[in-house]
Amino acid sequence: MSSNWVEVCAAEEIDEEDVIRFDHDGRTFAVYRSPEDEYFATDGLCTHEQIHLADGLVMDDIIECPKHNGRFNYKTGQAKGAPVCVNLRTYPVKVEDGSVFIAIS
């Protein structure tokens, strides 16, 4: 499957230990900046009830859904237990010239 790199935003636009929403081509993504200043990306909606994760809380390597507190590891996409049972899809991320890019397949 081919993927293309899409520019999300300037790297500084995402606070440390935070997440933003990124919509592209009819799809929605969540792009994260970890406390270690690394960037990650996942699908933007919780696999439980399609809530935007970008309104949730980032704690270390966890994103918590704002509606039912379902937790995922945003680095791996792993669902961490009820009420989320299905993992999140993750996407490669790179930072070039001060901008964040994600590879959308």
Partner 1 sequence: MTTVPTKRDYSLLGRDAQAAVESGLAAAEWYHTEIPRKQMKELMKREDGPAIRDTIIWLASLLVFGCLGIYFWGSLWAVPFFLAYGVLYGSASDSRWHECGHGTAFKTMWMNDVVYHIACFMIMRNPVTWRWSHTRHHTDTIIVGRDPEIAVMRPPDLFRLILKFFGILDVWHAVIDMVRNAFGVISAAEKTFIPEIERPKAILVARIWLLIYVATIGLSVYLGSILPLMLIGLPRLYGAWHHVLTGLLQHGGLADNVIDHRLNSRTVYMNPVSRFIYWNMNYHVEHHMFPMVPYHALPKLHEMTKHDLPAPNPSILHGYREMIPAFLRQLRNEDYFLKRELPPTAKPYREEFHSDRIVQAGE
Binding site residues, partner 1, CB under 8 A:
18, 48-50, 55-57, 59, 64, 66-69, 71, 82-83, 85
Assess contact for 101 and 5: CB atoms under 8 A.
yes
Which C-beta is closer to partner 1: that of 9 or that of 59? 59
Instruction: Report how far residue 35's alpha carbon sits from residue 53's, in angstroms, rounded to the nearest whole number.
Output: 18
Which C-beta is closer to partner 1: that of 66 or that of 99? 66
CB 45 → partner 1: shortest distance, Å? 12
Rounded to the nearest angstrom, the gap between the alpha carbon of residue 76 and the centroid of all alpha carbons in its chain is 10
